[in-house]
Each structure stands twice: as structure tokens, then as C-alpha cells.
Amino acid sequence: MPRLYDRLAAIVGDRHVIAGQSADAEPYVSEARGDYRSTPLAIVLPGSTDEVSQVVRACADAGTAVVPQGGNTGLCGGAVAGAGDVMVAMKRLDRIREVDAMNGTMTVEAGCILADVQAAARTAGRLFPVSLGAEGSCMIGGNLATNAGGINVLRYGNSRQQVLGLEVVLGDGRVWHGLNPLYKNNTGYDLKQLFIGAEGTLGIITAASVEIYPYPVRSRTILLGFSRLGACLELLSLAREESGDQLSSFELIPDIAMRAAAEHVEGALGDGVADVGEVVLSLFDGFEEVVLGLGGFFGFGDRFVDPGLDEVDEVVPQV
């Protein structure tokens, strides 16, 4: 479709359109494990919400499917573009529009790397709690489009719980302006929730207003081993109750994973750790008196993996 290609180039500039079969397309069309591969007509890199709108409108006029892409860190084929489709890569929409520490909000564009969003919040003495393994390369737009969870879901919820407002380009190119950083908003339908977790099927998220939290004064990481799986669930309930729900993370590492790590990664585990059974890794954060009062949990497990865990692992200055 040479006419569509030319129209896309006229919108974003020649250097921001990549032919789908060219060598420059490789980072966009290949999935990390090699299980999936896109075959798009073109990869388009818009630099603003208006350009995204024009690109989507041009594709709608041509009857061509659009596939949005964030950091391309997914491993289940969610961002694969078929033959003749147009892939819209969001990496140029990478501006942090506003950080309002007093209101506890920030407004970011969809192409911002998750780690950069976290860092911007931290600079303001705040915490953006969505955290996952790909945070150094995944983008906030993709996190919201997939309703990513991460390690802090217990306390802060999934990605959708962090969102106060969205800006979205709809399938016909119209822009839905829903960037409202208001905490108590009980007016009408909560339309933003339709787009979170929809994986781009209802529209392309171009920006979001998200909640940021006071940064924890203290944090404490606890690693405990258990011979009985049921005890892990008992600990989860007890930890939430006794800490005043200051538990941010609670990760079960099964025995098979511990043994695999010991076998394949030299020095990954200390002496005797691999045969401890089921292991729980927990992170508490919050106020000093709460975190320092967690000593009652240390006798709960069958065995401590690290004998130094009765000390505070990290002390964060209060801002």
C-alpha cells in the first residue's frame, strides 16, 4: 500500500517510518524468545498524541489494522502485527509531563520506561509502586494496556489501581481526553477502566495520570524457609494482620526453583539454602515503628535462610 506508507511518512516524517521487511525493523518485529514474529507493512514512530491520532485515522481510512507496541517485552504474542498491518511504536512519546508531589500524582506519556517513571517519582520523594522484572525496558503504556501486576500487588494493587486518568486515541483517530488527576471523582462512567487491560483493542493509550505515594521511611526484606506449604499461607495472613497491612510483597519460591537455581547458577544461593524446602520472600515497608516491630515473625519459619535477617536491611531517609 504505497499510498498509505507515503501518507504515514508525511505525518511523522520519513525517518520515523520503517519498512516492515527492512533490517531496521528487526527490534520491533521479533519477540525476545523468538516464538513470535511480526510481518507489518510499516512501523510508525509518532512523537505526539496528535501524530498518533493522524496515523490511526489514516489507517482507518485505508482499512488497515493497527497494532500498538510499547517496549516489546511481552512473551505471549500480544503485540504481533500481521501481514500488511501497521505497527505503532510508542517509544518517542517519552515525556513526563508533570510531577505533583503535593497532590500525589504524576502525568506521563505512554512511551516512558517504567524505571524512569519510578525514578521521577523517587526524585520528588514519592513512590510509584508498579515494579516488575522488565521495568528497565517496558513502557508505562504497555503496563496499563495489559494491567500489569508486578511484585507490589498485595499492598498497592495492579496497574489499574494506580490510574486516575487517561488520554486515548480511539479507533477512528479521535482523542478521548480523560487526563483527570482527581482522587475523588464520582461523575458518571469510569471510562478509563475500559482501556486498562484491553491491550490496545479499544484504543491506544498515549498518556496517563497516575497516583504516587509517600516513599517508605523504612523497609525490611525477610526470607524464610518452610517444610510445609500451608505454613506459607498462615504466615501471609499473620504478616498482614500484625503489620497493619504494611506487607508489599509476598513471593513463594517453590523447592524445585530453589534446586534449579542452585544447580544452574553458581553462587546464587548460600550454603544449605537449596534444601530448605518452600521459601517465602517478603517485603515490609512503612513507618519505622511498624517495620521495627516485626520481630515476632522471625520464629515462624522452620528455618531462616539468612541469619542476618533480624536486622533492618534498608533504611530510607525520610523526605
- Residue with the bigger pLDDT between 21 and 314: it is 21
CATH topology of domain 218-315: Alpha-Beta Plaits (3.30.70)
Residue range 211-228, pLDDT digits in tens: 999 998 878 787 777 777
Q: What is the mean pLDDT of residues 146-155?
A: 93
Note the helical H segments in the chain. Answer: 2-12, 26-29, 49-62, 114-123, 140-145, 153-156, 192-195, 229-242, 255-264, 288-291
Q: Which three cell numbers stand for residue 275?
A: 534444601
pLDDT for the residue 170: 98
The residue extents of the domains of the chain are: 2-89, 96-214, 218-315
CA distance 244 to 110: 34
Q: What is the mean pLDDT of residues 266-287?
A: 66
pLDDT band for position 304 (cuts 50, 70, 90): very low
* Confidence (pTM): 0.86
pLDDT band for position 308 (cuts 50, 70, 90): very low
Within 10 A of 266 (CB to CB), how many other CB atoms are there?
Answer: 7
Least confident of 98-102, 164-168, 216-220, 298-302: 298-302
Share of the chain above pLDDT 90, in %: 60
Class of domain 96-214 as given by CATH: alpha beta
Write down the architecture of domain 2-89 according to CATH.
2-Layer Sandwich (3.30)
pLDDT for the residue 287: 54
Nearest CA to 45 among 58, 55, 60, 36? 55
pLDDT at 145 over 90: yes
pLDDT at 317 over 50: no
CA distance 212 to 104: 5
pLDDT for the residue 311: 36
Q: What is the mean pLDDT of residues 274-286?
A: 68
- Residue with the bigger pLDDT between 84 and 245: it is 84
pLDDT at 295 over 90: no
pLDDT band for position 272 (cuts 50, 70, 90): low
- Which residues does 160 contact at the CB level (< 8 Å), separation at least 6? 144, 147, 193, 196, 197
pLDDT for the residue 273: 56
Q: What is the mean pLDDT of residues 128-147?
A: 96
CA distance 292 to 280: 19
CA distance 143 to 136: 12
pLDDT at 54 over 70: yes
Output the CA–CA distances (angstroms, integers) from residue 288 to 2, 122, 276, 314, in the order listed. Answer: 63, 19, 30, 11
- Which residues lie across from 88 on neighbouring strands? 44, 68
Strands 66-69 and 86-89: parallel
Which H or E element spans position 204? Answer: strand 203-211
pLDDT for the residue 316: 34
Q: What integer best gives the mean pLDDT of the chain?
A: 86
Query: Per-residue b/e over 17-26, b at no fewer than 16 CB within 10 Å?
Result: bbebeeeebe
Residue range 82-97, pLDDT digits in tens: 999 999 999 999 999 9
